[in-house]
Structures are given as C-alpha cells and as structure tokens.
Structure 1
C-alpha cells in the first residue's frame, strides 16, 4: 500500500516564502481555499494531481516535498535522543519520523538546539567538514559557476573541438602561462605546480592525459572564474575553510568547463547515463564523470540525482557527495556496509560491477562500483588504488542503460549506511551494534551476531 504524503507545513512554508496568501495560491492551483487550508493543516494528504499543479505553477522540484528532508530530520532526531543525558526516555523511531513529517518546524527547532548547545571538549570542526557541509547544503550544484563555465566553454570551442587543448592554448595566449609536463624526478612531490616566475603550469608526467587537461582547467578556472568561485566559498565560516572551499570549487569549475552542463546532460540522457560512453565522448576519467553526475541540479534541467563515494582498501572515505537523502553512504568518519559490492571492487580491479541494494527503510538503489588508479609511478612501485561507487534510486532505473537485464522488482541486497547506523538484527556481517540501540545480554543465548538489541 502506498503511504499517504502529509506535508502541510512544507506547503505553508513554500507559500509564505513566496509571499502568497491562501487565496492567491488556491487561485494559482485551481483549487478551493478550504481544500488548501485542509492540506496545510495535514487534514488532507498531497495527491498526485495537487503535486503536479504545484510543480507546474511554481517550477518546483517535487523532491523538496518528498521524504528526503523528513528522513534526514528523523535521523538527526534519533541521534539527539541517544544522548546519555536522556537515558530512560525511550522514544520510538516511528514517533520521531512522525514528528519530522508532521511537525517539521518543531523538529528543526530541536535539531538546532542540539547543534548549538555548547559541547564539552568537542574538537573544532575541520575545514574539510565545513566544505562538505557547504557542498551538501547546496545539493552539490552551484549555478553561477556552471553558467560562467558554460559561457567559457563556448568560447573555447571556437578554437577547436578539443576542449582540453583549447584550455592549454588559452592559458598560453591570454595569460602567458605555458603548460609543461615535468619528469617525476623534477616534480617528485607534486602533481601540479604553478611557477609564476617561469610563467609555467608544471604537471607531473605521472598524470594521464585526462588528468593533465583537468589540471590545466583547474588553473584556468582559478584565473577566469575566480569571482564566482570566491563568492560561493564566501559562505564558509573561517578563512582556512574558505581556502579549502576555493580549491574544491575550482575542481567543480574545471569539470563544468570540460563537461559543460547542457552538453553533458544531453549526452547523459542520450546514452542512458552510460558512464563508459561518457568517458569516451568527453575524454574524461571515471572519477571525473562520476563527480559530474552528482552536480546536475539545475532547475528546469535536472539530471538523474546520483551519489558518489570514493574509498581505499581499508574503507576510508576520501570523497563523498550525497546531494539527496536518503542514500546508502555512511557519514564521514564512519565505515560503510561490507555487503555493498563497492568494498569488493578491489578483488576485481578495473571491472565495472553493478548491484541492486535496499536500505532498511525500503529505499532501493542501483549502484555501480569500480576501482581507479590516480597516478602512475616508476616501475615496480604500487600506485594508489581506490574504489569509486555511484548510484541512484531504483525509481530512476528506466533512465539508466546499466539497468538492462536486471529484475528491479526482485530481491535486492540488504545493506545499510554502516553498522553503527543500521538496525538489521539478522545481518551476519554485522561487526558493531547500532549507536542508538538498546543492548541486551544473555549468557544463555548466542545469536547470529554477538549483539542483541531492540530498534526502539
């Protein structure tokens, strides 16, 4: 049975944010004022017809009214109620989900109180954490950077079809910067170095062709798109975080130059988001294509929403983009799920692996995973190797070429965002109990795992 969607608070927030009266919104949507009033008071669910009218009238992304924000708020409330100071006050997760859905303002007030409460001996938030919060808060989409990069890419195409070569030519002709590939024994500790005295952008010979042109595009972005990059990074709270933000957004801008939004989205839709075809068409590496897939959030021209994660053999996350919620990605600093084939990609280097997975709440995702090597090295050395995982909700599978032959209604691999955030009691792979669980111990029973716990 399909669960009814009650989102009166969010409809009211949308109306007030646009300065509309109930009379005006009802007129815009072609419904009665009394019906709109019932919706805002959660006495009527949001019907499909109402949602379509809402999206058409206000160019609204319907995901803003779906479960993403509610699920994220519910998880934040669960974390709050695991505080040791609240031991003995057992609030079921179902009640917290209901609070997040029906009273989002109260939920957000509780979350803000918890976030702003003085923490004892809490380490300061790192600049990288602050940058990640900015990226996720903006849905990993920065329209001013994308628009400026698209204009720049159109100018570059006038000099030829190869954007990578055009970037190098523009650095030389307009900015008097020559791009030079340096031997590893000369550039032994860097992959990219700007030498302003020699007017050179020096790149390590260990970089492949796609990485070299990307590094050149980063430098061009830092020169010609600096105002847009600094404006976006200006939202970060500390000088060090803003410097880290400029570095991260320069890479975003470089991808937007080499894979301009309109052309890239059109290619995605034409190929069914076939990542290997997109690599060939744009001359990019898998990681660059995967990263670009997470940025397609332009209003009126959105792509399929993807998440991205990069891990090493130990499961350490070095890159994470989750522009929507829920997702199977663990939070930074936590370990992921061993049942997700992302962690098995190292056993078959270079082979693309797909998997249909399902979270505890029933959300399904179609995922791809493959290893990548970041740089070459001298003979006999072991270059760094990582695994890249991307995925989208299974409801988007019809748009994905790599869903062919899969029974999307059949069994899916049950996974979670890591043991500490997963409540599957029957998972034999479990290594830790959930952080919010009520543990029970009985010397007479040994279950499938050493941990016995209740969800609520």
Structure 2
C-alpha cells in the first residue's frame, strides 16, 4: 500500500465517519478494539493511523481504503486554498503552504467554508444579487454549488447505483435499451414517449407533459442522446424518492440550484441505468478502458462513457480513477469531474500546455499526452472533440473533453499501448497562472501572486512575467 512507508494522519476523516454512523467515541473504539482515549488521539491527529486499523475501518464500515486514506480526499485541497489565498484580497497575508495543507486535512469543513465564501465574493464582484432572505449562499453560482456537491461525494452515489443496477439489468437488451425503456415508461408509469419535430418543442430538446403523460423528444437529438433522454425520464419517476431525499439532505440555497442538483442526480442515474455498474466495470476492464468499444457495447456516446468512467468508485470494486473536463472552443469549462485527485485549478481554467484545445484542430481524433504537475505527479490524458446532443449544423457545436488518470494506471488503458510510458515526452503543466510556480513558461498569462517580479527592461525573457524563485 502507498501508506506503508509514511505516517498517515486522517483524524478529521475518522471523526466525520464516526458522526455519519451516529457513533460515540466509546462505541467506535469498542468496535475497533481500541481504547476511547486512543481514538481521541487519532481524531485529533496526535497519532497516525496504522495499516491494520485502516483495514479494520474498511471492513467494519464498508469504506474504500484508497479513497479514505488518499491525500486528495480533502474536499477543498491545498491547491484550491493556495489559489484562493493568491487573490489580491488575501495575498498580503503570506500564508505558507504548510498551513494550507494543515487546514485542508485537519479542518476540511472549514476549508470548504472558505472556498464557498471566496466563490460568493467573486460572484458578488460580478454584481450577483443576494436573495430576499439574505442568504449569501445565493451568491454562489448554481453550477459551482452543484459542482462542489458532486465533488464532495467523489461523483459516486451508492443508493442510486444500487437502484440503477437492478433496473438497468432488468432492461438490458443486446440491440438497444431504448425500446425496453420506452415500454417500461408506458407499462409501469403510463407515460407515452414520442419523437417529434423540433418546431413542436421550441427551445427544448426534451419535455415531459405531466398532464397528458407524454414524454417528447426532439427529432434532432442524436440517437445515443434519445436513449439517454429515455433513461433520464425513467430515472425521474423510478428513483423519485431516492433523489428527493438526496436533494433534501443537500439543502440547496434556492429553487434554481435545487432543480439543477435534481437534474444532475437524474443524469447520473440515467448513465447508471444505461451502463449498470458491475457489468460496465467488467466491460471496461475487458476492453482495457477503450471508449469506442464501450460506446459500441452500451449504445452510448463518447461523453456518456467518459462521464461514467469517472464514477467507478464502489468500495471493493473500483475502476481506474479518472478525471474529466469538458470545454467549448472559447475555453469555458462546463463539466469537471474526478474520481480521485484532480490536477487542475478549481476556480480558473485549464493550463494552456494541456492539449485539450489542440483537439479542436484534429476533430474526431484522439490526442494523447503525458503531463506533469509542479508536485512531480504525472498523468496520462487523452483529449478529443465531441458533438453537442442536438444537431445544429454549426461548427461551433463541437466541444472537447479531456480524460485522464494517474500515470501509474496508464498500463491498464489500451490507448496508452503506443506509448513508451517510461521514455515518452512529458509536458510540464500547472494550475492557474496566478499560483503556478513554473518560472520559464512562455504561455504564462498573468503575473504570479505573491512573487517578486524579475523584469529587466534591458532583457526580455521567454516568460512575459519572470519572477524570483523561492
């Protein structure tokens, strides 16, 4: 195990697990065959967790050892905090990195609170209004609120997975799941699904008319997206109580965010219905995570499969932990998911050295790359263009996705077979320019926060903003 050679301090995570289980320190200590005082020391990070105790925690409370013990398990990590404290509002404080690391790991809820407040301040600067009840959470944009919720759960929802696996297995069809799902909607719920001209739907691509019990899909939806639309509508009715309970527990600050979260969870469930967990994981491992072959097996498109690959975090049955981004030609990030640690900026865009935008120049082709972050971690990534769900006939309908994983998993991927993983070129990348420590970067867009510039009017450097190291 990775933790065998280092002391592991995960007290706040143990405390959170205990509270989630509704246990006192005495009760948990008894179940682990340790003393309450020793558990107290563990929770306060005054003692490291041993490998044997970690395995006992995993056995008793059905947690995944790797995700529970991973450094990246903190919801708002040191990198995100460094990005926040590099802002002009805070940079004069000169908070050292070791304090940010301690905060992220010892007080994860406080780190989350700082991230939420920072996001709210940024949105307030754009003129976003506070709601009528004075709830400052309304300053956080809906997509950021939902994105944080998803990441806090590592993009994996056991209750939805179990329900979707049962339903998806029952509806499985080697030709297409679309027809079994259409029949299920009709027979079990009295909902008639139809494909209609786009003109009948206005600016909608799909619409449920509850009064007439009609589910309408645009004729301009691509075939895989029609299948997904049926799965989405099925998830809304089949898993209504499960999703309602999850949304209620999440307590979104306003109705708009509530609806967006509900939609996101139904989207998740739709993917899980189309690609039931156990069977999909087995297929992914058999095909060595070939996206094209998985698309063929499940009648899904590239984006649907890529998204599903980021969700394979079931304890005892984990897949390769992927991260995924989706961007448009202007660089706007519309999706950001991670099954484990995510190596890029939480609040900014992507590093220009990452080949995501190169994919637009090679539409339909896979663009592989090995990248290295400033902390010397390497990742194998692939980027490729995808088409929007609905046909528009415009070149702007293209989007690009980037999918990647830690280099140690790359040998499991068929798309890495052509790479000499030990000797292939490696591209140094960084987080947002304001916190990137790389000095000689010709793509640097902004001066680094909290660093003394080393500009000399008699000499121009590769980087437009050279700075003093250290």
- 2:148 equivalent in structure 1: 133
For the residues of structure 2 that align with 1:381 and 1:112, how far apart are their CA atoms?
42
For the residues of structure 1 that align with 2:301 and 2:326, how far apart are their CA atoms?
14
Instruction: Give CA-to-partner distance per residue, 1:116-150, whole Å, 9 cap, x none.
Output: 69959554112222111111111111111121112
Q: 1:99 aligns with which of 99, 102, 119?
A: 102
- 1:368 equivalent in structure 2: 382
What is the TM-score of this pair, normalised by structure 1? 0.84
For the residues of structure 2 that align with 1:305 and 1:243, how far apart are their CA atoms?
28
After the TM superposition, which residues 154-193 of structure 1 pair with which residues of structure 2 at under 5 Å, given as runs? 154-157=169-172, 162-193=176-207
Q: Which moved more, 1:235-244 or 1:176-185?
A: 176-185
SS in 2 for 1:280: helix
| Residues 1:291 and 2:293 are matched in the alignment | no
After the TM superposition, which residues 18-97 of structure 1 pair with which residues of structure 2 at under 5 Å, given as runs? 19=24, 24=30, 27=33, 55=58, 59-61=62-64, 62-69=66-73, 72-79=76-83, 81-82=85-86, 84=88, 88-93=92-97, 95-96=98-99
Q: 1:384 aligns with which of 379, 388, 397?
A: 397
Q: 1:273 aligns with which of 255, 275, 289?
A: 289
For the residues of structure 2 that align with 1:90 and 1:237, how far apart are their CA atoms?
33
Q: 1:148 aligns with which of 141, 158, 163?
A: 163
For the residues of structure 1 that align with 2:235 and 2:377, how far apart are their CA atoms?
38
Contact 2:380/2:404 (CA < 8 Å) preserved in 1?
yes
For the residues of structure 2 that align with 1:373 and 1:110, how far apart are their CA atoms?
37
| Residues 1:428 and 2:430 are matched in the alignment | no
For residue 258 of structure 1, report the CA deviation from its aligned partner.
1.0
Contact 1:77/1:111 (CA < 8 Å) preserved in 2?
no
Q: Cα distance 1:163–1:350, how it changes in 2: closer, same or farther (>3 A)? A: same
For the residues of structure 2 that align with 1:67 and 1:133, how far apart are their CA atoms?
18
After the TM superposition, which residues 340-419 of structure 1 pair with which residues of structure 2 at under 5 Å, given as runs? 340-375=354-389, 377=391, 381-382=394-395, 384-410=397-423, 411-419=425-433
Flag structure 2 segments of 5+ consecutive residues without an equivalent: 129-138
- 2:133 equivalent in structure 1: none
Q: 2:215 aligns with which of 192, 201, 207?
A: 201
Instruction: Give CA-to-partner distance per residue, 1:294-313, whole Å, 9 cap, x none.
Output: 11122222222111111111
For the residues of structure 2 that align with 1:128 and 1:86, how far apart are their CA atoms?
25
- 2:9 equivalent in structure 1: 7
What is the TM-score of this pair, normalised by structure 2? 0.82
Q: Which moved more, 1:341-350 or 1:395-404?
A: 395-404
Q: Cα distance 1:309–1:113, how it changes in 2: closer, same or farther (>3 A)? A: closer
For the residues of structure 2 that align with 1:115 and 1:376, how far apart are their CA atoms?
34
Q: Cα distance 1:189–1:397, how it changes in 2: closer, same or farther (>3 A)? A: same
Q: Which moved more, 1:256-265 or 1:392-401?
A: 392-401
Flag structure 1 segments of 5+ consecutive residues without an equivalent: none
Contact 1:9/1:104 (CA < 8 Å) preserved in 2?
yes
Contact 2:178/2:227 (CA < 8 Å) preserved in 1?
yes
For the residues of structure 2 that align with 1:376 and 1:70, how far apart are their CA atoms?
37
- 2:265 equivalent in structure 1: 249
| Residues 1:282 and 2:298 are matched in the alignment | yes
SS in 1 for 2:354: coil
Q: Cα distance 1:353–1:25, how it changes in 2: closer, same or farther (>3 A)? A: same
Q: Which moved more, 1:380-389 or 1:271-280?
A: 380-389
For the residues of structure 2 that align with 1:183 and 1:233, how far apart are their CA atoms?
33
Q: Which moved more, 1:199-208 or 1:115-124?
A: 115-124
Q: Cα distance 1:177–1:415, how it changes in 2: closer, same or farther (>3 A)? A: same
Q: Cα distance 1:387–1:64, how it changes in 2: closer, same or farther (>3 A)? A: same
For residue 338 of structure 1, report the CA deviation from its aligned partner.
1.6
| Residues 1:313 and 2:329 are matched in the alignment | yes
SS in 2 for 1:272: coil
- 1:303 equivalent in structure 2: 319
Q: Cα distance 1:349–1:12, how it changes in 2: closer, same or farther (>3 A)? A: closer
Q: Cα distance 1:128–1:376, how it changes in 2: closer, same or farther (>3 A)? A: closer
For the residues of structure 2 that align with 1:187 and 1:435, how far apart are their CA atoms?
49
Contact 2:9/2:45 (CA < 8 Å) preserved in 1?
yes
- 2:132 equivalent in structure 1: none
Q: Cα distance 1:40–1:130, how it changes in 2: closer, same or farther (>3 A)? A: closer
Q: Cα distance 1:41–1:143, how it changes in 2: closer, same or farther (>3 A)? A: closer
SS in 2 for 1:170: helix
Instruction: Give CA-to-partner distance per residue, 1:208-235, whole Å, 9 cap, x none.
Output: 2111111111111112211112222221
For residue 9 of structure 1, report the CA deviation from its aligned partner.
3.3
For the residues of structure 2 that align with 1:89 and 1:113, how far apart are their CA atoms?
15
For residue 444 of structure 1, report the CA deviation from its aligned partner.
3.2
